[in-house]
Structure 1
Amino acid sequence: MSAEPTVATRPALPLRLLRSPLGRIVAFSATAFLIGVVIARIYDGLGLPKGAIPFSDVTPLIELFRLAPVVLAYWLLVRIIENRRIDELAPRKAVPHVLLGIAGGTALFSLVVGALWALGAFVVDGVNHDVPWLGPVLVLGVGAGVGEEIVSRGVIFRIVEEGLGTWAALLFSAAVFGGLHAWNPNATAWSALAIAIEAGLLFGLLYHVTRSLWVCMGMHAAWNVAQGPVYGIPVSGFEQHGLLASHMRGPDWLTGGAFGAEASVVALGLCSVVTAGCLAIALRRGTLVPPPWRRNRAQSA
């Protein structure tokens, strides 16, 4: 006797809405907020410092509390709502992909500094021997690398790409990423735009071609740590006390001004070259996701 054919049942409407691109983004945001409320109560109960904490005073425990809402909300989003493995954060890829990202981020920002030095814009005054490494590395490296990449690439870029295609995801996630930096100290409309183009587009395409948040996290962290704790350049508007005692000389369009080298045309140009390389890889592979109307047209043809 032949077995009865199985009929796939369509999920109920509430579940379909929850699993839609917009539903998942809203669910992640709400979950992170609620977890954050609980985490804040625990944080206060432990008597940990409140308010704006200097980078040098941040401890591993403080940074753990800061990252917990985003990390836990993403785990719940992927494992419970999307009902899949977190392939973009697969443990077996962690070490090699993070190291690859760190190497890439360090090399890229070192190229930026080297170009600024060759142009006479980056001047080294000496070496600092009292750099508070732990706090800045936790905030600028681990905190920004993990938290911002989960939100910007793991949630916004990835989910918008599924719904509206790669180009829409790149533009939207880059705009959000640049906008989030518009409130930083010494930020300007130009610095927000530069961040959106040089980092938002770059990290979006880097995630697209690698499908690994580990690579993006490593590169993001290394870029920030090289910029601040190593070269002594302000990171996204935040002043730094780095290994090199340095200052910039020249017009703001070249040096980035008080915001730092991320607002320099040199960083914008070099990052755009790497972005173009990632785009070329995606085009050669044919992996760019088309918008939904083109998908529907292809399916009906």
Structure 2
Amino acid sequence: MPNVTIACTTPATAPSWQRWLLFSPLARIVIFVAMFLLLSLAMNALLHGLGWLGKDAPSTLHGLAQFLMRALPALLAYLLLVRFVERRPPAELAPRRLLPDGIAGIVAGLLLFSAVVGVLYLLGSYHITGTNPHAQWLPALLVAGLGAGIGEEIIARGVIFRIVEEGLGSWWALLVSALFFGAAHAGNPGATLWSSAAIAIEAGLLFGMLYHVTRSLPACMGLHAAWNFAQGTIYGIPVSGTRADGWLVSTRSGPDWLSGGVFGAEASVVALALCLLCTTGLLIVARRRGSFVPPAWRR
């Protein structure tokens, strides 16, 4: 018997207009986007009014403001969607799962990116040239780590993957969320078609399958945040094209397909291969569980 998990189903008593304009996958995504944009505008206005986003704001305060901008509107919009539209408890964000799942994700993210750096080092591409004990780690943790991990995972996995999966099934959800995640990084400094494809394949597929197997957003958030923090603050490698201020001062040599070039190690075939290996393992777990969700018209 397949072990299929669906977070939200349309109430059997819902009238037809609610089925299309409130409970359908497309309607819920549109509702989330509308709430997210409104909350983002309000948060931006508030933080500018407080002066936290000004050029003269201290780096830690500016980092806190960026964290709030990245994480809070997405989190609030998601909770409102779940509570008032889907009318269910957010099991994928249950308080009892925040700490254990988040820590497990953090450990996995640190180990995975350390493995990427280790392989690059053995291949002669990663070089440590010094140390920087005064690296600005707290703003990096708030923005590239927790801010990106919380905000991006809510949007890409909590909304896009989960809701598309409920309508079109697991395979389409995996494809759509991965393509969205790659496209979302296409405007980053140093981004190329290859870097966007690499992000979609290595991170989009991996995070999507991690959510599918665990049904836990904290696990995805922890892995995402730890990957970014390890890349930039620990190993001194640009994070998706953005400048790194790391405890280790490093350079990378060799062709861009190996080193990742100016975009960072995420655009390296090493990261691609190791993440695909992890994704394959999760696919095997899902297949053995029989957890792949068929499209709605086949359920």
What TM-score comes out, normalization by structure 2 length? Answer: 0.92
Contact 1:158 1:169 in 2 (8 A): yes
Identity %: 56
Greater RCO (CA < 8 Å, at least 6 residues apart) = 2
* 1:206 and 2:215 correspond: no
8 A contact 1:55–1:136 mirrored in 2: no
Contact 1:35 1:73 in 2 (8 A): yes
Deviation at 1:129, TM superposition (A): 1.7
Q: Say if 2:90 is the partner of 1:86.
A: yes
Displacement of 1:188 in angstroms is 0.2
In the alignment, is residue 41 of structure 1 matched against residue 40 of structure 2?
no
> Which residue in 2 is equivalent to 1:191?
195
Structure 2 residue 209 is the aligned partner of structure 1 residue 172: no
Query: How far apart are 1:61 and its partner, in Å?
Result: 4.4
Gap change, CA 1:174 and 1:9, over 3 Å in 2 = closer
User: Which whole-Å CA distance do the structure 2 matches of 1:9 and 1:202 have between them?
Assistant: 34
**SS of match in other structure, 1:58:** helix
Alignment TM-score, normalising by the size of structure 1: 0.91
Q: Computing the radius of gyration over CA atoms, which structure comes out larger, 1 or 2?
A: 1
1:1-301 correspondence runs (5 A) = 10-17=13-20, 18-50=22-54, 58-295=62-299
Matched to 1:132, the amino acid is: Q
Residue 113 of structure 1 aligns with an amino acid whose one-letter code is V
Structure 1, unpaired ranges of 5+: 1-7, 296-301
Instruction: Give CA deviations for 1:93-125 in whole Å, capped at 9, x if unaligned.
Output: 111111100000000000000000000000011
Give unmatched runs, 5+ long, in structure 2. Answer: 1-10
The offset of 1:60, in angstroms, is 2.5
State the alpha-carbon separation in 2 of the partners of residues 167 and 206 from structure 1: 14
Amino acid at match of 1:40: N
The number of residues matched between the two structures is 287
Amino acid aligned to 1:15:
Q
CA displacement at 1:35 relative to structure 2: 1.7
Q: Is the 8 A contact 2:145 2:224 kept in 1?
A: yes
The one-character-per-residue Cα deviations of 1:203-252 (angstroms, maximum 9, x if unpaired) are 00000000000000000000000000000001000110101010001110
Alignment partners' CA distance in 1, 2:200 and 2:58: 26
